[in-house]
Structure 1
Amino acid sequence: MNDIGIGSFIIVFLIAIFIGAVTAIQFAYQMGGTLIPRYYIGYIVRDMTIIEMAPTISCLVLSGKVGSNIAAEIGGMRQKEHIDAMEIMGVNTSSYLVMPKIIAALIVIPLLVCVAAIVSIIGAYIASVPTGMFSSAEFVQGLRSWFEGYNVFIMFVKSIVFAFILTSVSCYQGYFVKGGSIELGKASTQAVVSGNILILIADYVIALVLTV
């Protein structure tokens, strides 16, 4: 949990704050000169961040950072025959090496996604209110308008599914790696690529099931 969560906090924090800032600026630009009230920016940023940006972008980034690290760690143990030695001693290596990582990810990644959603909204506020795009009252009005708790439920469902995908795929790639350092590098790359593709597919499926 420390490696996956605390070790990834800074990168998730930075990405989240800039996602919120850019989202607010882009929507303010797109809605400029229209009849749509300006406080809608806060409403749009809030729902887009909670439903899509915080879980998906954060987990795509974590797939690259955490996924490659897990694949390289377990793959290195496989190549150095540490896993074979543990199996000879009667240790269930899959439950000893893989299960703790999956459980830790299922606990800490949803918390990271929740923090990312909050930070992203703060980033949108910092980027739009002090620069004079609209007032603080308008932004807060948008944040408080038409809130549905079901959207938070969708966010946590996505974060749990994505956490399982990125850790299980990375553990699989590392656990069954063969060859030398070149194959280990390919396994780490494959873990990231496969994890990202599966996360995007799962994102579409979850959106289709829970929102349509």
Structure 2
Amino acid sequence: GVAACTKHFPGHGDTNVDSHHAIPRIDVDAETLYKRELVPFRAAIEAGTRAVMSAHILVPALDPERPGTLSHRILVELLRGELGYDGLIVTDGIEMQAISRAYGLERGVVLAIEAGADAICVGGGLHDEATVLNMRDALVAAVREGELSEERLADAARRVRELAGWTARVRAETDAAADEEVGLVAARRALAVTGETARVDAPVYVATFNPAPNIAVGHETPWGVDA
């Protein structure tokens, strides 16, 4: 029941710059891109990947002006048109410097949705309600000013709802007993006993260390696609 996300489109392997800090580039011709970078994405789409994450990366052979996350040529013409992908497109963290430094957070959100992204990933400690409301207001303003069409926004919302609906159906159809048995088998296979084992007669205390809940981790995902 995992909605797999394939990333980072159209490829992030041949880079030496971290998009958390600046805009990376892939300076190769289109023929190389089609034979190399796009191969795993074609395979993932054929396998039914439920989401594709965009890359904050400049690929001049595809779009000399906009990084992938903000490029209609890359997200719509290439990913949807040429590769035939019709699922959810989610951005990489929009707060990353490759986007926020060059375009600003709110402006980056508008340009990403306009380019064809359906959902915005927000991280880097910015998972608070004020940030989400600022992004919402930027989108509303873009629609009112005629920069972003209501149809594009509605299309993005539809894909988010469809993914949320799919995950809800998968959870409802899950065989909990079978899942537990598979988990136990995997856990046993993951353990290897070496040397002497100590006998424990007293009660055993198990400590677990979990990350602090946030927009992506924990039981509450107030702005995510959890239905």
Shorter-chain TM band: under 0.3
Q: Could you say which structure has the higher strand fraction?
A: 2
Which has the larger helix fraction? 1
Q: Which has the higher contact order (CA 8 A, sep 6+)?
A: 1
TM-score by length of structure 1 reads 0.28
TM-score by length of 2: 0.26
